[in-house]
Amino acid sequence: MTFKQGISGNVNGRPKGAPDRRTIFREMIEPHREALVQKAVNLALDGNEHMLRLLLDRLLPAKPRIEEESFDRDKNQSSSEQLENIKQAMSNGEISSDYAYKASQVIVSQLKVNEYTKIEQLEKDLQEMKEYIKLNANSLNRCEVIKFNEDGTFEQQS
């Protein structure tokens, strides 16, 4: 049978009340719950580092030990350095992965806000320049140059 675009192979869709895979899996595991937890604990006690980390992350999540102030954007530390510090703190177990994710999102959001602010300022400067040129089109001759200053202003030069 060939695929026809726009036509579903299951026209009626999923039957109402049909369990999803997670529900089926949960129902299969539930009778063995205590044995599975005991096996996981035994593996962790026998030195399985992955199981130990899984159990500790789930049962005793790391408390954020790094002060929020250390994640403030300061002039001495770039955003990439801050993100690297967060990654290191998470790797060392100083903060949880959830806290690391949230702290990273704050930094990324601030970067986006800064970029949008710069774009808005550039659009504003461009609009001012267009208006200036429009108003002074007759007085500007072809030899004159418009100089843009560091502060975003511009001036007419001969």
Question: pLDDT per residue over 19-47, tens digit each?
Answer: 889 999 999 999 999 999 899 999 999 99
In this structure, are 55 and 69 located in the same domain? Answer: no
Range of the domain at 53: 20-60
| Inside any domain, residue 5 | no
In this structure, are 71 and 53 located in the same domain? Answer: no
Give me the pLDDT at residue 129, please.
86
Give me the pLDDT at residue 63, please.
63
Q: How confident is the model at residue 58 (pLDDT cuts 50, 70, 90)?
A: confident
Using a cut of 0.75, tell me whether the model's pTM lies above it: no
| Inside any domain, residue 158 | no
Q: What is the mean pLDDT of residues 84-99?
A: 82
Sign of CA dihedral 84, 90, 94, 98: positive
In this structure, are 52 and 68 located in the same domain? Answer: no
| Inside any domain, residue 103 | yes
In this structure, are 85 and 120 located in the same domain? Answer: yes
Both structure tokens of 75: 């002039």
| The pLDDT of residue 57 is above 50 | yes
Q: Distance (Å, rounded) from C-alpha 82 to C-alpha 48? A: 32
In this structure, are 42 and 76 located in the same domain? Answer: no
Give me the pLDDT at residue 130, please.
85
Residue 37, CA distances (Å) to 42, 62, 71, 136 in order: 9, 21, 37, 79
Question: Which of 60, 78, 108 is at the close of a domain?
Answer: 60
| Inside any domain, residue 157 | no
Question: Which of 6, 33, 60 is at the close of a domain?
Answer: 60
Calculate what percentage of the chain has a pLDDT beyond 70: 81
Considering only 42-51, 66-75, 105-114, 122-131, which range has the smallest mean pLDDT?
Answer: 66-75
Three-state SS sequence of 81-139 = HHHHHHHHHHHCCCCCHHHHHHHHHHHHHHHHHHHHHHHHHHHHHHHHHHHHHHHCCCC
Tallying the residues shown for the chain, one arrives at: 158
Give me the pLDDT at residue 64, please.
53
Q: Distance (Å, rounded) from C-alpha 39 to C-alpha 41? A: 5
| Inside any domain, residue 146 | no
Instruction: Residue 97: name the closest of 107, 89, 85, 108 by CA.
Output: 89
Q: How confident is the model at residue 157 (pLDDT cuts 50, 70, 90)?
A: low
In this structure, are 56 and 68 located in the same domain? Answer: no
Q: Distance (Å, rounded) from C-alpha 138 to C-alpha 156? A: 13
| Inside any domain, residue 150 | no
Residue that wins the pLDDT comparison between 31 and 9? 31
Q: Distance (Å, rounded) from C-alpha 128 to C-alpha 149? A: 14
In this structure, are 76 and 93 located in the same domain? Answer: yes
Q: What is the mean pLDDT of residues 144-152?
A: 71
Give me the pLDDT at residue 69, please.
37
| Inside any domain, residue 148 | no
The total number of structural domains that make up the chain: 2
